């Protein structure tokens, strides 16, 4: 877990954030809420070895979802998109927004299934889970 801890520390060096040593040793999932960050993490393994997945959200940046392997390999995973391209055509604009919300909702469900169930205000807004929008499927015709 040394390389994983080092890679995580490097990613958040400007804020001095790191995985709590006890959770790193026991490989227990958890979260860090500090300096404007909400970082959720969990451990796992696959055919490439042991890894740490983290989802980092900060109101001043786009979200990031990363898998760090003990081998030093780094893999970017899908994260919520904060923006979408729209169109002056109202029908096309609705279609584009619906696609954006569908994608983000799919990712939000995968994050929750992974145990990343703490959502910042921005995460809720980007996923359409704030309750202020209609079903994206209903807008498509």
The per-residue pLDDT for range 63-99, each reduced to its tens digit, is 999 999 999 999 999 999 988 899 999 999 999 999 9
- Strand 37-46 and strand 30-34: the pairing is antiparallel
Q: Where are the alpha helices (DSSP H) in the chain?
A: 2-11, 21-26, 90-113, 121-127, 136-139
44 and 100 housed in the same domain:
no
Does residue 50 contact residue 3 with C-beta atoms inside 8 Å? no
90 and 75 housed in the same domain:
no
Q: Which residue range is the domain that position 57 belongs to? A: 1-79
The per-residue pLDDT for range 119-140, each reduced to its tens digit, is 765 566 567 665 555 544 444 4
132 and 71 housed in the same domain:
no
Number of domains in the chain: 2
Q: What whole-number distance in Å separates Cα of residue 123 and Cα of residue 107?
A: 11
Does residue 53 contact residue 77 with C-beta atoms inside 8 Å? yes
pTM of this structure: 0.84
120: which residues sit within 8 A by CB, 6+ positions away? 38, 57, 59
95 and 74 housed in the same domain:
no
The per-residue pLDDT for range 5-59, each reduced to its tens digit, is 999 999 999 999 999 999 999 999 999 999 999 999 999 999 999 999 999 999 8
């Amino acid at each position: 877990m040394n390389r994983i801890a080092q890679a995580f520390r490097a990613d958040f060096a400007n804020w001095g954030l790191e995985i709590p040593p006890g959770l790193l040793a026991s490989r227990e999932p958890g979260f860090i809420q500090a300096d404007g960050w909400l970082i959720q993490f969990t451990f796992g393994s696959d055919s490439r070895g042991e890894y740490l997945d983290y989802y980092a959200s900060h109101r001043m940046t786009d979200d990031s979802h990363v898998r760090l392997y003990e081998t030093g390999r780094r893999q970017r995973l899908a994260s919520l998109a904060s923006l979408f391209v729209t169109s002056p055509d109202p029908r096309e604009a609705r279609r584009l927004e619906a696609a954006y919300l569908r994608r983000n909702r799919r990712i939000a469900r995968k994050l929750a299934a992974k145990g990343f169930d703490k959502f910042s205000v921005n995460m809720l807004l980007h996923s359409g889970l704030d309750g202020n929008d209609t079903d994206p499927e209903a807008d498509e015709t």
